[in-house]
Amino acid sequence: RQGIFARAPIPDLLLLDVNLPDGTGIDVLESMINQPHKITTVMLTASTNPEIRQRCDELHVNDYMTKPVDEAKFMRIVRDHKRLMIHSTPMLAHA
């Protein structure tokens, strides 16, 4: 799995579920903790466990959404991220 991540393009936005087939979204974030790239991360969960929320905060998750997902909130997060990306990228800001 690490080889796949090593060759994959770096995403602008990472959408993770806490529960994944081979682990957790938290495991994915912990495996990326030493990466030099800052990726906006949105964590999804059906859990109300405050320890999960606390760990996400420690891992600097940008947004945390509980299921069922509020579509309007999710779209706002994506739009806000896109706006930030455009304004922080000189080539895109002047396009």
What integer pLDDT is reported at residue 11 of this predicted model?
Answer: 83
pTM listed for this prediction: 0.74
Q: How far apart are CA 23 and CA 1, in angstroms?
A: 12
CATH superfamily for 10-93 is: Response regulator (3.40.50.2300)
Query: What pLDDT score does 10 carry?
Result: 80
Residues 6+ positions from 63 with CB-CB distance below 8 Å:
41, 42, 43, 77
Q: What are phi and psi of 48, to 5 degrees?
A: -110, 15
Task: Tell me how far apart the alpha carbons of residues 3 and 77 are, in angstroms, rounded to a whole number.
Answer: 30
Domain ranges of the chain: 10-93
Given this model, what pLDDT does residue 44 score?
Answer: 93
The model's pLDDT over 32-88, given as tens digits with 9 standing for 90+, comes to: 888 877 888 999 999 999 999 999 999 999 889 999 999 999 999 888 888 877 766
Tell me, what's the pLDDT at 94? Answer: 45
Amino acid at residue number 31 = S
